[in-house]
Amino acid sequence: MDFTLTRLANYPGVKGPLLFVILDGVGLYRGHADGFSGNAVDLAQPPHLYHLLKTEHIATKLKAHGTAVGMPSDADQGNSEVGHNAIGAGRVFSQGAALVDKAIETGRLFQGAVWNELVAHARAKKTPLHFIGLISDGNVHSNTRHLFALLNACDKAGIEEVFVHGLLDGRDVPPLSALRYFGDVEDYLWSVRVQGLRDGKIRRYYFASGGGRMITTMDRYEADWRIVERGYNAHALGQGPLFSDALTAIRLLREQTQVDDQYLPPFVIEDPAHPGQPIAPIRDGHGVVFFNFRGDRAMEISRAFVEKDFKGFVRQRWPQVFYAGMMEYDGDTHMPPKYLVEPPAIENTISEYLAHNGITQFACSETQKFGHVTYFWNGNNSAKFDEKTETWQEVPSDKIAFDKAPAMKAHEIAAATIAALKSGTYKFLRINFANGDMVGHTGSLPAAIEAVKTVDVCLGELIAAIDALGGTLVVTADHGNCEQMYAVDKKTGTPVPAAGGGFEPLTSHTLNPVPFVIHGPDTARYALNPAVKEPGLGNIAATLLNLLGYAKPADYLDSLIVL
């Protein structure tokens, strides 16, 4: 592969450093100041961001959801994974949900070697098949329609025992919606059991364990291995409070804890035939499928089941299982080794081009988003392209609820980036402020407002630093979130009232566009590219290359600017 970049004939590139800032989860709700009462961005009135949007010559909106980032339809919200993939790759690839949909629709998933190994193993050994994953249709990490397809295939294949270890969402879907999603799965499991009785077949299809996603199983970037340990102990060891069924567990735990679904503690389902015993701990010889398609929160639990020299926590027992992921979650470490659906092959990212052309790079974020400016940015690969020219700096995230400390590590990220700028070492720098997304997911409007204010203070510091160096700043976001903290009635466009007063919180990502601004000494010579009719995140990489004085590769989407 030839990674040679062609120099622009009419522009040598920005003179100072080029700083690319991703305001994670900061979208624009019908414009950035329309008075919507749940708009944390508008309510924060961030002076630096709003000044850039109002005064800069290049200031526009980008599509950051749906087909613009490889999702199946424009009804699908964007997310940090696909957003950073699109930005870093300069192109749009069919992403997790779309790939799995297609693999199921065509039957390719069930014709694959791994699925047939799982089925053959379960039938020959008369052992259970376990499914672990997020029970919702949020379409960010998983979709229940995929689980239903897998369960149906198990039934048709004659697998006698199937157990679901379900994780509550409340983040990509309404915060108190788990009873609906778990109820749908419970109804399906019940129908399989009943039909089995009618046909004289053994069918033990049950929920086996569960818990809220932010407390159980779905940690990422090694931020808090205790989350994975809780889930592992519930799924594999059957450790946790026992309940007769998943719906009872959810109801009682909500009453006891008074928290949203995503924060419910882990639970275990009791075996109706053996009171006081868990129904289905994962044991030696069993088959296990983690059916989430998104990689970041699937990596650690996969490692806990797969790795012989695992060091994340002390495993009380390590069952030897046939483990498969819905997808390969890390193309660099090949985790997990077995998976059901091939991931998109994302090559030739902007960082790979820059590395091969000797352009020094700096990437920084806190733990919660560090993998997004490295792993996802690099096309789902966790290694640097050039150790000599690339520097990655991770700021450890707090291990407390994000609405309790909405500043998160924004100030530390800004300080590290300013130091990197002043060092004179780096030509291209990329950073991510996680606040708008992570705090937005908590559903707390006051905390989200504080998060936006904090990030804007840091943005002001970065503007001052880049101006002092004669550099150029590019600001955008990977998807919306904190600009719409209330659920909105689709017909009226007004906030949905909550049962106890106020408005129903919206903890998920949104379908709103995101800002895109260029600030620097050369901006007067740039113009928005009229050929780009629907600008999206995939157009950013070519734009950054233009700013560095290079033409885009032939297969990249067009630049947002003309020079």
Nearest 5°: the CA angle 292, 293, 295 is 95
Same domain, 314 and 189: yes
Same domain, 296 and 392: no
pLDDT score, position 259:
96
Is 80 an active-site residue?
Answer: yes
Tokens 């999206």 correspond to what residue? 536
Same domain, 152 and 45: no
Among 31-45, 109-123, 211-225, the minimum mean pLDDT is found in 31-45
Last residue of some domain: 341, 366, 392?
Answer: 341
Among 114-118, 128-132, 340-344, 387-391, the minimum mean pLDDT is found in 340-344
Same domain, 316 and 399: no
Same domain, 86 and 122: no
Query: Above pLDDT 70, what percent of the chain?
Result: 99
Same domain, 543 and 419: yes
Q: Which of 37, 80, 209, 508 is catalytic?
A: 80
Pairing of strands 267-271, 204-212: antiparallel
Any idea what the CATH number is for the domain that residue 191 is in? 3.40.1450.10
Radius of gyration in angstroms for the set of CA atoms belonging to the chain, rounded to a whole number:
24
In a domain, 9, yes or no: no
Among 219-228, 261-270, 391-400, 493-502, the minimum mean pLDDT is found in 493-502
Last residue of some domain: 294, 319, 341?
Answer: 341
In a domain, 11, yes or no: no
Asked whether residue 32 carries a pLDDT value surpassing 60, the answer given is no
The two tokens of residue 445 are 């409007």
In a domain, 13, yes or no: no
Top pLDDT among 493 and 277 is at 277
In a domain, 6, yes or no: no
Same domain, 135 and 79: no
Question: Residue 367 sits in which domain range?
Answer: 18-94+347-562
Same domain, 322 and 411: no
Same domain, 292 and 325: yes
Nearest 5°: the CA angle 272, 213, 112 is 80
Enter the DSSP assignment of 266: P
In a domain, 8, yes or no: no
pLDDT in tens, 391-433: 999 999 998 999 999 999 999 999 999 999 999 999 999 999 9
pLDDT in tens, 423-476: 999 999 999 999 999 999 999 999 999 999 999 999 999 999 999 999 999 999
Same domain, 178 and 288: yes
Any idea what the CATH number is for the domain that residue 408 is in? 3.40.720.10
Residue 488 forms beta bridges with which residues? 495
Asked whether residue 33 carries a pLDDT value surpassing 70, the answer given is no
- Note the Cα 71 to chain centre separation in Å: 13
- pLDDT band (50, 70, 90) for residue 30: low
Same domain, 62 and 131: no
Alpha-carbon distance 359 to 354, whole Å?
5
Angle (deg, nearest 10), helices 144-156 and 96-106: 30
pLDDT in tens, 275-333: 999 999 999 999 999 999 988 899 999 999 999 999 999 999 999 999 999 998 876 57
In a domain, 10, yes or no: no
Last residue of some domain: 341, 362, 392?
Answer: 341
Q: Can you list the positions of beta strands (E) in 139-243?
A: 161-168, 204-212, 242-243
| Mean per-residue pLDDT, 332-353 | 89
- Closest to 158 (Cα-Cα) out of 121, 133, 208, 184: 121
Same domain, 118 and 53: no
DSSP annotation string for 542-555? HHHHHHTTBPPPTT
Query: Above pLDDT 90, what percent of the chain?
Result: 86
What's the structural domain count of the chain? 2
In a domain, 12, yes or no: no
pLDDT score, position 76:
80
In a domain, 515, yes or no: yes
CA-based torsion, 63, 64, 69, 75: positive or negative? negative
